[in-house]
Structure 1
Amino acid sequence: MPNTSVRAAAEGMPKITRRHALMMSSGAIVALAVAPNAHAAVAVDDVSEVRALIKAHRDAEAAFEKALVADGEMEEAYFAAHPERELLIPLSIGGAQSLYIRFEAQEYLDDCVKAIASTYNAKRQSLAALRQIAPALANDAVATLDRAEAVDLSTLDATWKAEQAKRKAFGWGKTRRAYNSTCDAMHRALDAICTYRCSSPAANRARAAYLLKVTGGKFADLENYQVRALLRSMRAREAQS
C-alpha cells in the first residue's frame, strides 16, 4: 500500500493548550462587581488579600512567559540540528505510516494512532465477502490483523520514545519541564483568585476588574470548573454551612 502522510507528534512551538476551555459568559465575572456583599456580617476589607493573589498570578504569568520563550528557542535549536520533518512507521501489512515530528506533540501522535487504526479497520471490512463463504478463515484473518496492528502501534510508541530521548539528550527536556511547571503554577494562581471568598464589596470589585482584564479577547477564557468555583465563592457563608 502507498505511504500515507499524516500529521504526527512533536513538541513544537508551545501553546497554552491547558488554558483552552469552553467559552464562558463574562456575566459571572461582571456579577462580582455589582453583587451585594455576600458576607456583610464580616467587617473586613480584604482588598489587600485579593491584590496579593493578583500579584501572585502576575508573577506566575511572567515566569511562564519566560519559560515559553526559552522552550521556543530550544525547539528552534533542536530542529536546526535535526532537520528531518517526519519518521516512517513500517506497517506489518505493507507500506508505512508517516509520523510528522514538528508541532503539537500529543495531537499529532493521536492522529497517527487513528490513521493506523483506520488502515486496519479498512482491511477488516474487506473481509466481509470471505466471512460469508468461510467464517472461520475470516476470523483467523481478523485475528492476524489484530496482532499486526498491535505490533505496529508498539513500533510507533518505541519510535516516539526514541525521538523523545534524543530531545532530552539535546537539552530540550529541561526547558519543556520548566514550561509545564510554570504553566501549572499559573493555573493554580488563577484558581486561587477564583476560589477566594471575598469579605467586602471592594475586594469583589477588585477581583472582577482583574478577571475581566486577563480573560476573553486574545486571552483564554476561564474554564468551566473555575467559573463554578468563582460562583461558589460568592455564596454567603451561612448558605455553605
Structure 2
Amino acid sequence: MTSLAVSVEGLKKAYKDHTVLNGVNFQVQRGSVFALLGSNGAGKTTAIKILTTLIQADEGKAEVCGIDVAKSPEQVREKISLTGQNIAVDEILTGRENLELVAKLRHLPDRKAITETSLKQFDLEEAGGKPLSTYSGGMKRRLDLAMTMLGSPELVFLDEPSVGLDPEARLALWDTIRKMAASGITIFLTTQYLEEAEALADQIAILHEGKIIVQGTLDELKNILPAKKNRIRRKTTVT
C-alpha cells in the first residue's frame, strides 16, 4: 500500500479559453490533514472535482488511495467521501432520518446502531429526532459531516466547509474535524482562510492562478515566503 493518499502530477483543466489549473503538482500523506489554500477562483473546487471523479482533467495524472482517478473512477469512489460547500441534508427529515437514509443507500449493516453512534460522535443525540428546520447552520454542517463519515471512508474531501458559519460554529466545526482526523482518516480540506489551515492542517499547499506556488508545513511556509511581498492575508488571498 502506498503511503500517499493523493498524488497529483501536471494537472491541467480549462473551461473554453479560461485555464483553471495549469500544471498542478502536490502529494498528500495518508492519515494527515492537508489544506489547499487559495482565494475564490483559484481552482480549489475544480481540483476536488477531478480528485473525486466528478470531472476529468484535460492533462496530467491524479491518483487517490493509489488508484488512477481517470482509469478507475468507481474504485476511487468506494474509498472516499465528499462534503461540498453547500450543506447536503434533507430539510424535511430529522437528523436521524437523514443518517438512516444515507446508511441505507450505502448498504451498511446495522443501520440503526450506526446512526445512533454517529449522532453521539457528532454531538447530535438530543437533536436527532428533530426536523432540520430547527437546526442551526453549525448543526446542519455537523450532520452533513456525520453523513459523510458513514461507511468509514479512507479519505474525506471537505470543500470550504466553514463558509457561511458564524465564528462560534466555525470553532465547533474545527473541533469536529480534529476528531475526524484523530480517527486516522485522511482529510483533504480546501479553504480561503489561513487561520483555518493553520489550526487544522499538517501540510498546506497554496494554489494561486492555477498553480501550486508552495507546499509545506506552516513553519516551512513562513520560512519560504518573504515576510512583506508574499505574505498570506489572514482572511482570503495570496498577494
Flag the structure with higher helix content: 1
If asked which structure has higher relative contact order (CA below 8 Å, sep 6+), I would say 1
Same fold, judged at TM 0.5 (above):
no
Flag the structure with higher strand content: 2
TM-score range, shorter chain: under 0.3
TM-score of the two chains, using structure 1 as the length reference: 0.25
TM-score of the two chains, using structure 2 as the length reference: 0.25
